[in-house]
């Protein structure tokens, strides 16, 4: 299946774009997507943390993804 992934902040710089489409296996979980992305973009592993949002809500690692989901990679946020 194809997944459209939105990138924000430093993840946009890592991907080289704000939107990326990837071809993955059906029944992929969020954790498997993270592993897939880290293989293609090893710089992601250097981040202290990052989150995957699915349909505008933070997703748990066990959540199964669908090609109709809106997926975003959210980097760590700091503020003050």
Q: Which domain covers residue 53, as residue numbers?
A: 2-74
Domain tally, the chain: 1
pLDDT tens string 50-75 = 999 999 999 999 999 999 999 999 99
Is residue 10 situated within a structural domain? yes
Is residue 69 situated within a structural domain? yes
- Give how far Cα 73 sits from Cα of 3, 34, 70, 80, Å: 12, 9, 10, 22
Is residue 80 situated within a structural domain? no
pLDDT score of 77: 75
Is residue 12 situated within a structural domain? yes
Q: Please give the Cα distance from 11 to 27 (Å, whole number).
A: 24
Domain at 23, CATH number: 3.10.20.30
Is residue 61 situated within a structural domain? yes
Round the average pLDDT of the chain to a whole number and report it: 93
Is residue 79 situated within a structural domain? no
């Amino acid at each position: 299946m194809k997944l459209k992934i939105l990138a924000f902040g430093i993840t946009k710089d890592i991907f080289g774009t704000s939107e990326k489409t990837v071809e993955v296996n059906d029944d992929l979980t969020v954790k498997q997507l993270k592993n897939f992305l880290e293989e293609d973009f090893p710089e992601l592993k250097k981040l202290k943390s990052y989150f995957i949002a699915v349909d505008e809500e933070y997703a748990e690692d066990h959540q199964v993804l669908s090609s109709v989901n809106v997926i975003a990679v959210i980097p760590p946020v700091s503020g003050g």
